[in-house]
Amino acid sequence: MQSKRKLKAAHIVEALQSEPVDIHSLRKLSISPGGLLSRKLRCQVWPHLLDVTDTHLKCPKNVRMHPECRQVQLDVNRSGGRFPSTMPKEEVDILQEQLTDLILSVLCTHSELNYYQGYHDICVTFLLVCGKQLSFPLVERLSTYHLRDFMVRSMDSTADILNYLIPILEKSNPELVKYIEKSEVGTLFALSWLITWYSYVVPKQEDIERLYDFFLSCHPLMPVYFAAQIVLDNADNIMDGECEMARVYQVLLQTARKTDLPLETLISKAADFYIQFPPSSLSVTAIDYYKDGLAMSTFCDYALVAQHELPDAVLRRRGLYSSDRTESSVNTRPSNADSTHWSAAKTAAVAVGGAVGAAAIAGAVNLLEWAPHLLGYL
Amino acid sequence: MNPNNDTEPYDYLFKIVLIGDAGVGKTCIVQRFKSGVWVESQASTIGVDFCMKSCEVNGKKIKLQVWDTAGQERFRTITQSYYRSANGVVCAFDLTRQSTFLNVEKWMNDVSKFCEENVSKLLIGNKCDLTEERAVSREECAKVGSYYSVVDYIETSAKDNTNIEASFIKLATVLLEKHSSSNLQQEPNTVFGLGSRTKPVKSTCC
Ligand SMILES: Nc1nc2c(ncn2[C@@H]2O[C@H](COP(=O)(O)OP(=O)(O)OP(=O)(O)O)[C@@H](O)[C@H]2O)c(=O)[nH]1
Ligand SMILES: [Mg+2]
């Protein structure tokens, strides 16, 4: 086990040191079991995943004059539970001050972004992993891409994104979807999962960080694919009892809070699902969503500009996504450790849809050329 | 899990939605009511949290479903969908922050827009332990309360455990009176749904 870790760490360092940085390998390694392994490596790799080159972005001045300052402080003051219980109070105080400045710096830099309760939870993760200096450019980038839809004035687009959950669940467990619909529970139970990238619910900080490796390497909708896997994993529990809104809501709320969340399995399944059922394959609502000019479509635009086509469109043209074939593969394909590794490669390939920056996209063509071999077993 | 939950028999089930500005202490109030504890660094609520608590009123076992909503303005459109089937609403503000009191108007407008007409409302002024920092007078608060025809205005402290249980019991009592007089006949246990217009549930067991 230890030697496997060492080997993986060596691969990560190798990818970092190559000229230019081997972003595809970094994405793959971030997705595959264990993710980026340590905070030290995360600090080095996350900037690449976000395509941040200027790590010394200057913070704006007088950030505490921002109109949201009061709300931010309200939330920061209550973030104590996110810091290690062993951390001395003085240190927590310092970090909380930095947290307030970090959040307000992003808000001051981007007047179009609206703060939401839960945003601070994401910022805590960055602060703990990367420190205040590096966190600013990273969070700034993350906010204008992955989180952008959550930060528009209205929460309607966030609710729309949550609705992707149902068609994803449908692909794998239509019976569960019927049950959930009958209970009228809706999808809002997953709101806090999505907009905090699970830092509000997943109890262990190291798990949260590992998840961020994954999400940072993928399309902004990946957290929804991940939510679907949590729900699917608990299907028996959900359907065991009265089909009644409050009960189902309570069970669903608890599913992500389990201390024994099978994280790696869920990650690899979410990645598999993304490959088999990319967002554009999901539903009419999904298609409508692409037109909205929000973050999801921006991501696609990036890919489109670079290669005139969405990666999943390429794959579909090659007959890899024809729905009848994929449907059967869901049921039959085992999800063993081997396939996890290969899925990581594929997801990184398709993750170009969510990739920021020309470097990543230019190289993606190669990956796509290469991906069909991997997809052979589909 | 908690013995209070799920399986325990009850006579009535009421759904209560807790609303009010961010930071007024809604989650602390629920925690205090539910588990009797005071959690100093209670995290902000994201979306809507949920808990169950049983209590006894006039010899009847009452089960309360408490929906604890996030107070930030931008969550409003989302939390409103939880109002529809509520039997009772607790609207809380912070006695030390006038802005949270002034916003009671907004919350009450939401209630009249999205709740059933006959919903029972309770107004709570929280953090009454901070007497030095008090920013609104009791008379003012009571006046606003009666303007919105609340069943009562109560001052609470989740920190000192002042009037927390009493508030929920008060609301439960009113709900019980209302529904036991209107439901002369035993109603079967109806399914409770977020989207459905629901009657308070009367259990068939015991
Ligand atoms: N002194 C005092 N402080 C309180 C009391 N109740 C809550 N607080 C403090 O007020 C702050 C906010 O409490 P929460 O319960 O998180 O507030 P909330 O209304 O749930 O806020 P949102 O979840 O953001 O909508 C916390 O830091 C508590 O410590 C009280 O009765 N007295
Ligand atoms: Mg709360």
What is the structure's pLDDT at A371?
27
SS3 A377: helix
Tell me: do A249 and A305 sit in the same domain: no
What is the pLDDT at residue A243?
A: 94
pLDDT of residue A104: 98
B88-94/B60-69 β-pairing: unpaired
In the listed set A266, A291, A311, which residue is the last one of a domain according to the structure?
A266
Place of tokens 């108007």: B105
Residue A339 has pLDDT above 90, yes or no: no
Residues A148-160 have pLDDT tens digits of: 999 999 998 898 8
Same domain, A291 and A259: no
Question: Does the distance separating the beta carbons of A116 and B74 come in below 8 Å?
Answer: yes
Pair A5, A138 in one domain = yes
Residue B22 lies inside a defined structural domain of this protein = yes
Around Cβ A163, how many Cβ atoms within 10 Å?
Answer: 17
pLDDT value of position A372: 24
Q: State the pLDDT confidence band at A348, using cuts at 50, 70 and 90.
A: low
Residue % of chain A over a pLDDT of 70: 74
A271 occurs within a structural domain: no
Asked if B86 and B64 touch (Cβ cutoff 8 Å), the reply is no
Q: Which of A98, A117, A144 delimits the end of a domain?
A: A144
- Any ligand 1 atom below 6 A from CB of B142: no
Query: Chain B residues contacting A, CB < 8 Å?
Result: 6, 15, 22-23, 40-50, 52, 65, 70, 72, 74-75, 77-78, 81, 191-196
What's the ipTM? 0.85
Q: Is the pLDDT confidence value at A11 over 60?
A: yes
Is ligand 1 within 6 A of the CB of residue B66? no
Tokens encoding B73? 């303005």
3-class SS at A375?
A: helix
Q: How many CB atoms lie within 10 A of CB B1?
A: 7
**Host domain of residue B166:** 12-191
Both A222 and A101 in one domain: the answer is no
Atom of ligand 1 nearest to the CA of B46: 23
CB atoms within 10 A of CB B130: 15
Residue A2 shares a structural domain with residue A122:
yes
Q: Region A4-23: what's the mean pLDDT?
A: 95
- B198 vs A186: which has the higher pLDDT: A186
A222 plus A324 within the same structural domain:
no
- CA–CA separation, A284 and A263 (whole Å): 30
| B103-150 per-position pLDDT tens digit | 999 999 999 999 999 999 999 999 999 999 999 999 999 999 999 999
Within a domain: residue B5? Answer: no
Do both A62 and A118 map to the same domain?
yes
A87 to chain B, any CB pair closer than 8 A? The answer is no
Q: How many CB atoms sit inside 10 A of residue A292's CB?
A: 13
pLDDT tens column, B12-24: 999 999 999 999 9
CA–CA separation, B148 and B160 (whole Å)? 28
Q: Per the CB < 8 Å rule, is B77 touching A245?
A: no
Instruction: Work out how many domains chain A is built from and give that number.
Output: 3
Residue A256 within any structural domain of the chain: yes
Residues in B closer than 8 angstroms to A156, CB to CB, are 77
The residue nearest atom 10 of ligand 1, judged by CA position, is B25
Q: Could you give the CA distance from residue A221 to residue A296 in angstroms, rounded to a whole number?
A: 8
Do A173 and A241 share a structural domain? yes
First to last CA, chain B: 22
Pick from B28, B73, B93, B131 the residue to mutate for probing ligand 1's pocket: most ligand atoms within 8 Å of its CB. B28
Q: Within 10 Å of residue A266's Cβ, how many Cβ atoms?
A: 21
B6/chain A closest Cα distance in angstroms: 8
pLDDT tens by residue, A317-332: 333 333 333 333 333 3
Q: Which of B76, B65, B108, B74 is nearest to B194 (CA)?
A: B65
* Ligand with smallest separation from the Cα of B26: 1
Q: Which residues contact A264 (CB under 8 A, 6 or more apart)?
A: A33, A34, A340
Q: What CATH number is attached to the domain comprising B59?
A: 3.40.50.300
Distance from CA of B170 to the nearest CA of A (A): 23
At B53-94, the pLDDT tens digits run: 999 999 999 999 999 999 999 999 889 989 988 999 999 999
Say how far apart CA B60 and CA A194 lie, in whole Å.
40
Q: What per-residue confidence (pLDDT) applies to A302?
A: 34
User: What residues sit around ligand 2, an ion, with C-beta below 5 angstroms?
Assistant: B 26-27, 45
Q: How many domains does chain B divide into?
A: 1
Cβ neighbours of B77 in A, within 8 Å: 154-156
B18 and B92 in contact (C-beta within 8 Å)? yes
Whether A40 and A136 share a structural domain: yes
Average of per-residue pLDDT values in chain A: 80
Identify the residue whose C-alpha is closest to ligand 1 atom 29: B40
For B161, half-sphere exposure in the C-beta direction (CA atoms, 13 angstrom radius) is 10
DSSP of A26-94: HHHHHHSTTTT-SHHHHHHHHHHHTT---TTPPPPS-GGGSTTHHHHHHHHHT-GGGS-TTS-HHHHHH
Whether residue A217 lies inside any domain: the answer is: yes
Residue at B139 is within a domain? yes
pLDDT confidence of A53, banded at 50, 70, 90? confident
Peptide bond into A20 cis (omega under 30): yes
pLDDT score at A228: 97
pLDDT, one tens digit per residue, over A158-200 is 988 998 999 999 999 999 999 999 999 999 999 999 999 999 9
In a domain, B84, yes or no: yes
Tell me, yes or no, whether A113 and A23 share the same domain. Answer: yes
Q: Give the Cα separation of B178 and B66 in Å (integer).
A: 19
CA A76 to ligand 2 center in whole angstroms: 13
Does any ligand 1 atom lie closer than 6 A to the CB of residue B127? yes
User: How confident is the model over A219-251, as pLDDT tens digits?
Assistant: 999 999 999 999 999 999 999 999 999 999 999
pLDDT at A100 over 50: yes
A window 24-63, beta carbon within 8 A of B: none
> What is the reported pLDDT for B40?
79
Give alpha helix (H) positions in A277-336: 284-291, 295-307, 311-317, 323-332
Are both A117 and A16 inside the same structural domain?
Answer: yes
* Pair A247, A300 in one domain: no
Instruction: Assess whether pLDDT exceeds 70 at residue A54.
Output: yes
Q: Is B129 in the pocket of ligand 1 (CB under 6 A)?
A: yes
Residues A199-215 have a mean pLDDT of: 96
Nearest to A249 among B23, B43, B50 (CB): B50
pLDDT score of B185: 39
Own/partner pairs, A326-329, CB within 8 angstroms, 24+ separation: A326/A276, A326/A277, A326/A378, A327/A171, A329/A276, A329/A378
Q: Range of A295's domain? A: 279-377
Contact yes or no for A155 and B77 at CB 8 A:
yes
pLDDT at residue B180 in the model: 80
Closest C-alpha to ligand 1, atom 3 = B127
CB of B45 closer than 6 angstroms to any ligand 1 atom: yes
**Could you tell me if residue A149 is inside a domain?**
no
Q: What pLDDT was estimated at residue B206? A: 37
B82's CB contacts (< 8 A; 6+ apart) are B17, B48, B67, B69, B194
- pTM tops 0.90: no
Q: Using 50, 70 and 90 to split pLDDT, how confident is the model at B181?
A: confident
Burial environment of residue A51 by CB neighbours within 10 A (0 to 12, 13 to 18, 19 or more): middle
